[in-house]
């Protein structure tokens, strides 16, 4: 049984860690330890969606999910992967106009945005452009909680556009650490070329 210690990780990291073990290591049985009931439920739902039977445990302050591969899943044939040349990938542009999601609690809003950025990699190669405008440019400067994530995106070839006017407005031009400083024309052109635009 594969043991996964996801304590101290905020949502959706425990699910992503479990997903990686199930998909990459082809584990038939996993035991995932988390430190919140919400994470326990999220991991449980993911495992069940993958054909695992699950059991929940509570050990002290920790929450445990035990998942075992069902006979149906074991017998299921793995579909042959299609070559990328035969798949028409969508070009999705994500535009972040804020450094936090929603209104109300500022700390919660920032945490949600951090989780959103970190989960974007699940879009795979369809994530085509990541654009930061207005308050969103603060995510691209030194000290940003997602700077390492954005640098990783850029290393994989993702084009990150950062509004120069916005950086200027906040006096952050010299502090930008990732992405290409751009203008509204480039942003609008990217919107025209994209198959889908998601705005946050």
Q: Give the per-residue pLDDT at 37.
A: 85
Largest pairwise CA distance in the chain: 59
Whole-angstrom distance, CA of residue 78 vs CA of residue 67: 20
Peptide bond into 12 cis (omega under 30): yes
Say whether pLDDT at 29 is over 90. Answer: yes
Strands (E), the chain: 2-5, 29-34, 52-59, 62-69, 92-96, 127-132, 159-163, 180-182, 196-199
Give residue 31's pLDDT band: very low, low, confident or very high (50, 70, 90): very high
- Structural domains of the chain, with CATH: 2-75 (3.30.110.40), 86-199 (3.40.1260.10)
Residue 183: its pLDDT value, please?
84
Length of the chain: 200
What is the distance between the alpha carbons of residues 112 and 101, in angstroms, rounded to a whole number? 6
What is the pLDDT, as a whole number, of residue 30? 95
Q: Over the chain, what is the mean pLDDT?
A: 89
Cα-trace Rg, the chain: 20
- Does 195 have pLDDT greater than 60? yes
Please say whether the beta carbons of 84 and 66 come within 8 A. Answer: no
What is the tens place of the pLDDT at every residue in 98-111? 999 998 899 999 99
Interval 60-101: pLDDT, tens: 999 999 999 876 555 454 444 434 555 778 999 999 999 999
Residue 137 has pLDDT above 80, yes or no: yes
The number of beta carbons lying within 10 Å of the beta carbon of residue 141 is 19
């Amino acid at each position: 049984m594969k043991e996964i210690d996801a304590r101290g990780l905020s949502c959706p990291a425990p699910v992503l860690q479990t997903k990686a073990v199930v998909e990459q290591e082809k584990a038939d049985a996993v035991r995932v330890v988390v430190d919140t009931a919400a994470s326990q439920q999220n991991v449980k739902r993911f495992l069940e969606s993958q054909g695992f039977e699950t059991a929940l445990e509570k050990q002290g302050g920790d929450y445990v999910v035990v998942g075992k591969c069902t006979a149906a899943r074991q017998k299921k044939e793995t579909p042959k992967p299609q070559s990328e040349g035969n798949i028409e990938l969508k070009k999705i542009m994500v535009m972040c106009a804020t450094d936090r999601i929603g209104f109300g609690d500022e700390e919660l809003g920032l945490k949600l945005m951090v989780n959103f950025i970190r989960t974007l990699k699940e879009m795979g190669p369809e994530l085509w452009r990541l654009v930061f405008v207005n308050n969103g440019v603060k995510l691209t400067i030194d000290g940003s909680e997602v700077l390492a994530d954005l640098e990783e995106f850029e290393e994989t070839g993702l084009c990150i556009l950062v509004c120069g006017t916005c950086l200027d407005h906040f006096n952050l031009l010299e502090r930008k650490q990732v992405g290409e400083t751009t203008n509204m024309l480039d942003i609008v052109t990217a919107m025209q070329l994209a198959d889908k635009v998601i705005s946050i």
